[in-house]
Structures are given as C-alpha cells and as structure tokens.
Amino acid sequence: MPAAYPIAILASGRGSNLAALIDAQRTASLPIDIVLVAGDKAHAPALRLAEEAGLSTLALDPAGYATRAEFDADLFARIAEHAPRLIVLAGFMRILDASVLEPWVGRVINIHPSLLPLYRGLRTHERAIAAGDAMHGASVHYVTSELDGGPVIAQASLAIAADATPATLAAELLPLEHRLLAACVELIAEQRVALDDNVVRYDGSALSAPLRLGPDGTLETSA
C-alpha cells in the first residue's frame, strides 16, 4: 500500500470540514495522514475536535505578532516542520500574506461556500439569495494571493429553494462541502490533480472547467 499522503489543516471555527477529513482518515477511505491541525483561535471547536482525535495541534495568537506577515511566516514555518504535502484551509478565516504564501502555491487549497467566481468573501449564502440566483454551491480552489481567486478544482451545486434563508441554504450545502473537500483531497493525494503554471491539471490534462461533484460523491468533468 502506498504511504499515506501527509496533510495539514488550518481552521478557525466550528470544524465540520475538518471532522469530515478526520473521519475519512480514520475509516481509511482517504489515503491521508493529518500531520497537523493549526489555527488562530485557541478555543475554536475545530482545535478541540483535533485534540480529541489525538492529532497534533497548534494554536497561534495573531495578537502576539506585530504584522500579519510575521504571523503567517511563523505559522507556515511551524507547519513546514511537519512536512505536509498539502495544506487544507477548512474555514480558516484569515487572508494569507502573499510573500509567505508564494513558495506554497500549488500546495494550499481552500473550500469556499459559493460557485466561484461568484461571491468571493463573506455572507455568500445571503448574497446568492438576494441576487435571486437559481443555483448555489461550494468550490474547492488552489489558494493564491488573490482572495478566493485561485484556480478552481471542483464545485458542488444545489438549487436554491423558494423559501431558502441564509441559514437553511448553508445547512443544505454543508454535507455537499464535506464530500467535495474529501473528493478533492483524494484526487490530490492520488496525484491525479495538480496545479501547473496556474492551471489545474486532471489526469495530466488542463481543466477547462471545474470538476463537478456527482450524486455518487465522485468528481466528474463537466459535460
């Protein structure tokens, strides 16, 4: 059996996407080894969850650093000590410093709750409803210095119900996010997806559109 793929996860909040990856590691449905879970909030449920799962954790307080760049440099230096091949931002609510990120581009992914390029930033569910959109969804993308702007690997989508509220839409989307993130991590761990010169390659070919999460939980190319 090939060695498990080492990943680090950064999370600031609730940690449900983290929990989905922990489950996948535990049940061996994903060939991953979560080598570190790090965050910027010592009391975040995500870090508790990681501790309870027996994983290595790291909480760094941004208040202890003079600048964002110094915080990010220390965070990434400490992450590097654990030698992950992939860093997953799973509800990590900070913008990363471009120069710290630069050497890691292609090895950091983020999950964002919108069909990018729609609705970068916050309050995505509210904005999709207010715009009268028929569809909403989530995207997993490579992280670049542009906020929520890096090349998209894959998306999951759903129809917005007529009576949807931001809360109901978020709740409906969340299980799809978990499947989407796990499926993307699996393809990267299997080295079937990679970033090459700012283009996502899937089985060696440049993707012209994001992969789509199918009903069976696997990723498909767009028709």
**Interface residues with ligand GRF (CB under 6 A)?**
11, 13-18, 46, 90-91, 111-113, 138, 177
**Catalytic residue list contains 112:** yes
One-letter amino acid of 180: L
Closest approach, Cβ 116 to ligand GRF, in A, equals: 11
Q: 66: left (phi > 0), else alpha (psi -120 to 50), else beta?
A: alpha
Closer CB to ligand GRF, residue 11 or residue 128? Answer: 11
Closest approach, Cβ 205 to ligand GRF, in A, equals: 27
Closer CB to ligand GRF, residue 35 or residue 140? Answer: 140
Query: If 0-12 CB within 10 Å is exposed, 13-18 middle and 19+ buried, where does residue 171 land?
Result: exposed
Instruction: Give the DSSP letter of residue 63.
Output: G
Chain position whose Cβ is nearest to ligand GRF: 91
Dist CA 131 CA 136 (whole Å) = 11
Closer CB to ligand GRF, residue 40 or residue 177? Answer: 177
Residue in the block written with tokens 């839409």? 169
**Which residue among the candidates 82, 112, 125, 136 is catalytic per the annotation?**
112
Instruction: Give the DSSP letter of residue 61.
Output: -
Catalytic residues: 112
